[in-house]
Amino acid sequence: MEHPKTAISFENVYKSFGTQAVLQGLDLEIPSGQITTILGPSGCGKSVTLKHVIGIEQADSGRVEVVGHDMSNVRQRDLITLRKRIGVLFQSSALFDSMTVKENVAFGLRMHTKMPEAEIAERVHVCLDAVKLAGTEERMPVELSGGMRKRAALARAIAMSPDFILYDEPTTGLDPNTSNVVGDYILKLQNELDITSVVVTHDMPLTRRVSDKVALLFNGKAVVQGRLDDIESSQNEVFQLFVDGRLG
């Protein structure tokens, strides 16, 4: 499938919370049909950037555009429709503790579609099978390992057949082997679903493995963005400080 050049764009975006300036003139382009990874130290605005994409936050000034929608002026009806096209993997996995794995994955389908229960059950099975969690349908989230919870959350994120998946720190709190598995699934879903993915992380091994494009946020701006090979060969000083763990 052919993709338009840019799926999501930030143009000179400013966002503050009280006296704390978080985004300070952010310019960022996220290509359609690729994996864009957003790097940066804690507090640099990575997660706030994602919240602008799904309309949880609005820019104080500047423009955020998601597939042609100006997120500062989008109608509520259009915002609801747009959110149905976006799957989100939250840092905490954000599964409902009181629901089984099956009920968690089915939640969006029951809330936002008129799909018959038999079709929902089949869709849940397909999504859990895609992340190698078939057989866990009746388990509760507390019974799953950290890596399994991430995969269950991934199954829920893809249940609505999204055009976008946003990953917020997908490997935080996971051991290296489990982090590698999460990376496997990010690539697998990208290849199989023909989607646009945005990964917010500070995990450089994951970044090297999955990224088509990388952007480094610092002091509320994207100080560098492009292909990782190009960024590394440019010997950008701020990027090197981040890689060395000296950017804070």
Q: Could you read off the pLDDT tens digit of each residue along the chain, which spans 248 residues?
A: 455 489 999 999 999 999 999 999 999 999 999 999 999 988 889 999 999 999 999 999 999 999 999 999 999 999 999 998 999 988 776 789 999 999 999 998 998 888 999 999 999 999 999 889 999 999 999 999 888 998 999 899 999 999 999 999 998 888 898 899 889 989 988 998 889 999 999 899 999 999 999 999 999 999 999 999 999 998 889 999 999 988 86
How is residue 82 written in tokens? 């747009």
Pick the CATH number of 6-243 from 3.40.50.300, 3.40.50.2300, 3.30.1330.40, 3.20.20.150: 3.40.50.300
pTM reported for the whole predicted model? 0.89
pLDDT of residue 156: 92
How is residue 242 written in tokens? 């981040």
Distance CA 66, CA 80 (A): 13
Distance CA 5, CA 65 (A): 13
pLDDT of residue 246: 85
**How many Å from the N-terminal Cα to the C-terminal Cα in the chain?**
40
CA dihedral (30, 131, 39, 162) in degrees, to 10, reads 30
How is residue 124 written in tokens? 């849940």
Nearest residue to 57 (alpha-carbon basis) of 103, 13, 2, 102:
13
Distance CA 60, CA 16 (A): 7
Alpha helix ranges (H) inside 15-160: 46-53, 76-84, 101-112, 117-130, 146-158
Give Dmax (Cα) for the chain.
55
The pairing of strands 61-66 and 6-17 is antiparallel
